[in-house]
Structure 1
Amino acid sequence: MAPTRIILDTDLSMGAGADVDDGFALALAHADPDIQLELITTVNGNTDVESATILTGVLLNRLGIKDTPLVKGSATPIIHPDQTHKIADHVLALKDSARPPNPGYAPVAIAEHILANPGQITVVAIGPLTNIALALLLEPRIKSAIKELVIMGGIFFGTMYSRAKPGEFNVFSDPEAARTVLRSGIPQRWVGLDCTYKVRLTMDDAKALQKSSSGFAVFAGDATIKYINYQVDRFPGRPKTDSIPMHDPLAVAVVSKPGICEYRDMAVSVITGDGEARGVLIADRLETKSPPIPNCKVAVDVNAEAFRSHFLTLIQKL
């Protein structure tokens, strides 16, 4: 079968001392022979969009990705243009070593690429859904032209760890965008924290990557160890951990290996605004006599070992 053609929409911050899983997701999409990476877009989320674009450009150079377009996207959530973030000096210092972005704006590039290839393009969104929502507002025809939208986001069977962030980060960062997507009618598959917390990279895995013959794997191992150690300072109220979850790479993995997860149809909505429940998803599992119409598929279980084997095998080939 031909590879699945994808757009990867990311708030990548790997290389800035922050979350490593966006970078791993990009690397996995590049390494997977059953995925064809056709467009990379950036969005405000883990970091500001300028930093995300620079750090993605640095990683593209490290991975040797020269021809896949990189387009910068939304700088703020949809209804909060006041929530701007200044680029950090240590990221700005990397700008000259980063592959520069292509001209244009991510929501436009996403819409144009989908419409130019009807029924062929899967979008993998691993950051806030701002770019996707704006693409829908600009060009509603993508609802019927897209093959599928795969989203890393949400928590469906539990709660978050802090009242300050009641919704999962990607949804909490722009719940109005998530609502737009959920109401759009786009075929969408959500891979949330219920599954992503179960797929983890351990300290032993990281040390093994450091010994790999792959230059990227060595870099990945170093970054993983730093991030595992960082979690001790970030969450002093948690037991000390020797592993980190691979949230975003799981969303990429299920594009070519959908059987890694088990899914259920659900009717999902999201709480918007700035109240205490901002970004909380409300999921109806269709278990009553008169259930609502489902609007998405939700990952409810994961084969963690199958993911781990898939991820580590491909990363060490880079």
Structure 2
Amino acid sequence: MARPIIIDTDPGIDDALAIMLAAASPEVEILGVVAVAGNVGIENTAPNAAALADLLRLDVPVGRGSALPMWRTPSNAAQVHGENGFGGYELPESPRVLEPGVPLLARLIEESEDPVTVVAIGPLTNIAKLMNEYPETARKIERIVLMGGGTLDVLGNATPTAEFNIWFDPDAAVRVFGFGVPLTMVGLNATHQALVGAHHLPQLLTSGGPAAKMVDHLLAGYGDSHHEEGAGMAQHDSLAIAAVIDPEVITTRRLFVDVENTGRLTTGMTVVDYLDRWGEPNCDVAFGVDVERFRRLLDDRLSVLDATLKED
């Protein structure tokens, strides 16, 4: 039976591939997509989410969530994702009416017949607000799989110690990690292993459909400066989705994780307790990645999706 999921996202180049992977995978049923500010502002992430839903023929509601972090001045990653979030790639404007994001999260969780997994691939503002405004509903979440943070292996991409999604709203992250819902953290130490270039997607990029054209543009124009040229782009968000579809793509270790939100130099750092000294483990932390399995999953699923979209 397909696992019901809600995708909370800030599209975003790698978000687009992640949502495509979810749409192409029968193991999951997408109940809805909720946008949050992050990679770019909500004035772009919300219409981007709606446009992706149209491209992928997703008959699900799309929400416009938080425009600002809970208490901080926002910043974004337009220097990586381009001003529109898609590196200049343009999708047709969607005619969808977007619902308020946090109430939509609550409604979808309450209406689902089966427990819901929330896949959070942007900053955690919407999820923290759900916990604050609808705490009993939030406790019904089966698991939150989040792309964010990291371990001592790879500390930060927004600052020397902080990954972008956590750094954007560390106060929201503190709330989420401390709330008590089961968590899986897919951080930079894992996603920097999940390098994907065009040469890793031969089936997809020879199919010539709308998904292939978009993926080709995104991979060709935007790489990851942490890696050698030609190695590929770190698939941060797609790896989190893949971990829900096929849990054997990653290996995890159960540990206690908290988030620094007051440090002068370390705000946004996910602090992982390897010595079990601070508290009971609260998070399944991703460490290992079966990279070839992940690349095959992307290529196989997205090529089938692209062929379907091309036929429509």
What TM-score comes out, normalization by structure 2 length? 0.87
* Residue in structure 1 matching 2:184, options 181, 186, 189: 189
Structure 1 portions without partners, runs of 5+: 14-19
2-side partners of 1:12 and 1:3: how far apart?
Answer: 24
Q: Tell me what 1:144 maps to.
A: 139
- How do 1:124-163 and structure 2 match up within 5 A? 124-160=119-155
Q: Give the direction of change, closer, same or farther, for the CA distance of 1:206–1:309 in structure 2 (3 Å limit).
A: closer
What secondary structure does 1:156 align onto? coil
* Residue in structure 2 matching 1:54, options 39, 44, 47: 47
Comparing 237-246 with 71-80, which one deviates more in the overlay?
A: 237-246
What secondary structure does 1:141 align onto? helix
Q: Tell me what 1:78 maps to.
A: 70
Q: Deviations over 1:277-300 (max 9, x none)?
A: 110111112x45x66211111111
Residues 212, 218 of structure 1: 8 Å contact kept = no
Q: Tell me what 2:10 maps to.
A: 11
Q: Tell me what 2:109 maps to.
A: 114
What TM-score comes out, normalization by structure 1 length? 0.85
1-side partners of 2:191 and 2:158: how far apart?
Answer: 21
1-side partners of 2:199 and 2:47: how far apart?
Answer: 30
Q: Tell me what 1:269 maps to.
A: 258
- How do 1:173-212 and structure 2 match up within 5 A? 173-205=168-200, 209-212=204-207
Partner letter of residue 250 of structure 1? L
Give how far 1:24 is off.
0.3
Q: Tell me what 1:223 maps to.
A: 218
Comparing 137-146 with 154-163, which one deviates more in the overlay?
A: 154-163
CA RMSD of aligned residues (A): 2.7
2-side partners of 1:194 and 1:238: how far apart?
Answer: 13
| Count of residues in Structure 1 that have an aligned counterpart in Structure 2 | 299
2-side partners of 1:113 and 1:141: how far apart?
Answer: 14
* Residue in structure 2 matching 1:279, options 268, 278, 284: 268
What secondary structure does 1:53 align onto? helix
Q: Give the direction of change, closer, same or farther, for the CA distance of 1:270–1:59 in structure 2 (3 Å limit).
A: same
Give how far 1:274 is off.
6.4
1-side partners of 2:158 and 2:145: how far apart?
Answer: 27
1:240 to 2:239 alignment: no
What secondary structure does 2:54 align onto? helix
2-side partners of 1:34 and 1:96: how far apart?
Answer: 27
1-side partners of 2:158 and 2:194: how far apart?
Answer: 25
Structure 2 portions without partners, runs of 5+: 306-312
